A = this chain, B = another copy of it.
Amino acid sequence: MDELNSKKAARATADLVAREANVSRVAVSRAFNPNASLKPEKRDRILQVARELNYTPDMAARSLVTRRSHLVGMIVPDVCSPWESQEIDALTTALQAEGFATLLFKAKADFSMDQTLLTYMRGFNPDSVIAFTENIAPDVLTGFLDRAVPIYVIYDDATEFSGKPASSIYDRLLVRQREGIEQAVALLQGYGARRVAYLGGKQQSLANNERERMITEILAERGMEPPIVVAGDYTYDTAYRATLDLFRVGDGADAIFAANDVGAFGAIDALRHDLGLSVPGDVKVVGFDDIPQAHWKSYNLTTVRIDLEDRVRALVRLILRRLKTPDADPMVETLGTRLVVRGTVG
């Protein structure tokens, strides 16, 4: 009884398993390393004993010598939108299947990235880092994280992050927004929209700026007026108020292109429940992302879809390839967008 308890209480170690199975410490180590050479029956016996003793190799000790933590750091904004939550979710599932665990870190709400956080995170030695904030330059990140190579999301023709070339290596996820936005604008135009408003996201957001630029460009190409730009921050409440202002203080619009779905929801609710306008009758609305809520009947939102599964797969590919060949040249994965037509344009 005491014997049993002390065995269970103490964290089972490789030496304990080795002693119990009458093998050496190293054999135990090999038993848990699939590509190490060990006589099959011996491995089976060791794994059996390990199971009985409730033993698992200690990742901390292992990472100390292998220089692989099997940890992927994710830096996310203080409070996440559904889109980000969903992506963290899917990424974690995908990475777990590859043997990596997600280590979550919260950045400040204003997307600022202080050195404190980076220093703190580095202590955990993540094998890779995905940052959901955009205003940190590659050079800064690479300077802090030694082993990890950052991945950046870039858009359409912008081949360099923020336009400035970086001296350090980083991998890229290129999102081709043009196709989706073009389809959306064409649909709006086809249904007679003439005054299109762009309801923006966070000012500092690269995605936001690129979306605005692209919409402006495409409207011009199709001979339409430039968009009425309305400031937002990706949140429902701000979008709601901004839409009220647009129609009460400003001259309104007959179509609203929102920088994200949540913003589109805010616009729709302001139009319907406060301004007494109908969607799509009086005003057409298009969103961006295609989060699950977009198909909820109250909104039934027409939106530009970035396929989450594709996106996650691309990111995981980048991570795994970089880990396999740490000194490889910068890698790029490309992602398309397309319009999902539902009920807010027509």
Contacts and interface: CB of A to CB of B under 8 A. Distances in A.
A246 interface: no
Contact of A89 (B8, B9, B80, B292): B80
Interface residues of A, number: 59
A58 interface: yes
A194 interface: no
A144 B147 CA distance: 32
A135 interface: no
A22 interface: no
Contacts of A10: 146
Contact of A143 (B54, B57, B123, B124): B54
A89 B93 contact: no
A125 interface: yes
A268 B92 contact: no
A90 to B, nearest CB: 8
A87 to B, nearest CB: 11
Interface stretch (A37-45, A98-106, A185-193, A247-255): A98-106
Contact of A103 (B8, B89, B101): B101
A78 B93 contact: yes
A58 B273 contact: no
Given A85-B85, A146-B11, A296-B265, A60 B125 contact: yes
Interface stretch (A61-69, A153-161, A208-216, A311-319): A61-69
Given A85-B85, A102-B103, A104-B101, A60 B56 contact: no
Contacts of A273: 297-298
A265 B298 contact: yes
A273 B299 CA distance: 11
Contacts of A63: 60
A15 to B, nearest CB: 15
A274 interface: yes
9 contacts: A59-B60, A82-B85, A92-B104, A92-B105, A93-B106, A104-B104, A236-B296, A272-B298, A298-B298
